[in-house]
Chain A
Amino acid sequence: AQKITQTQPGMFVQEKEAVTLDCTYDTSDPSYGLFWYKQPSSGEMIFLIYQGSYDQQNATEGRYSLNFQKARKSANLVISASQLGDSAMYFCAMREGTGANSKLTFGKGITLSVRP
């Protein structure tokens, strides 16, 4: 089974509107972390937001928030007040466990296009 699933092929949003990018995950480990990264056309990977499995509240970072629904194993990224510069690929990633294993497993990504 895929550990991280991002099934939306491509998303379009009007500038200044909010958009939700979906991510579901699969793990049997009770301790894990979920991450979102942005990859603009220039290619670099930009860290956006982190949610720990034991965090009581949903993570927020500026215009980014993470809608964490543990029972559904979903960790959707919400971008409020979209800007043209938000057009990029967005990757959801997971780290499992608390030991020496700290590698990230990535989904295939979602393309977001912001329309003026």
Chain B
Amino acid sequence: NAGVMQNPRHLVRRRGQEARLRCSPMKGHSHVYWYRQLPEEGLKFMVYLQKENIIDESGMPKERFSAEFPKEGPSILRIQQVVRGDSAAYFCASSLRVHYEQYFGPGTRLTVT
């Protein structure tokens, strides 16, 4: 059973470009969570999605960030007009049901130059 997949593993963007991060949850998991980790920090919650629905986006910046989890295909975290402060590791996690253990993907390391 494959784990949570994230791609790309590393992404370099210039200021003002768009970043698209993809997450495929574990097989059978319909709950997806996105977290951001700044250097030397713990992970900070961004958004929680189930298939086609955003359940909790309380950790998402109000502008430039959006997330989706379509009926078919991976979950996408999109960052428009990236700035240097967006440089971080972005982790996706999935769980079988709400309140079950969350299993994390390997992360996408975004660098904004």
Specify which chain A residues have a CB less than 8 angstroms from the CB of B109 in the assembled complex: 43
A residues whose Cβ falls under 8 Å from a Cβ of B? 4, 33, 35, 37, 43-47, 50, 91, 93, 95, 98, 100-109
Distance between Cα atoms of A105 and B89 in the complex (Å): 16
Distance between Cα atoms of A43 and B105 in the complex (Å): 10
B residues whose Cβ falls under 8 Å from a Cβ of A? 31, 33, 35, 40-45, 48, 55-56, 58-59, 89, 91, 93, 95, 98-99, 101-107, 109
Q: Are A104 and B45 in contact (CB under 8 A)?
A: yes
Who on chain A is nearest to B58 by CB? A103
Distance between Cα atoms of A114 and B40 in the complex (Å): 20
Q: Are A103 and B56 in contact (CB under 8 A)?
A: yes
Sampled A-B contacts (30; CB under 8 Å): A35-B102, A43-B106, A43-B109, A44-B105, A44-B106, A45-B43, A45-B91, A45-B107, A47-B102, A50-B101, A91-B42, A91-B43, A93-B42, A100-B55, A101-B56, A102-B98, A102-B99, A103-B33, A103-B48, A103-B58, A104-B33, A104-B43, A104-B45, A104-B93, A105-B45, A106-B35, A106-B44, A107-B42, A108-B40, A108-B41
* Contact flag A35-B101 (CB < 8 Å), given A44-B107, A105-B45, A106-B43: yes
Q: A4-B42, A45-B104, A46-B104 are in contact. List 12 more A-B contacts (CB 8 A).
A: A37-B104, A43-B89, A43-B106, A44-B107, A91-B43, A93-B42, A95-B99, A102-B33, A102-B95, A102-B102, A103-B48, A106-B42
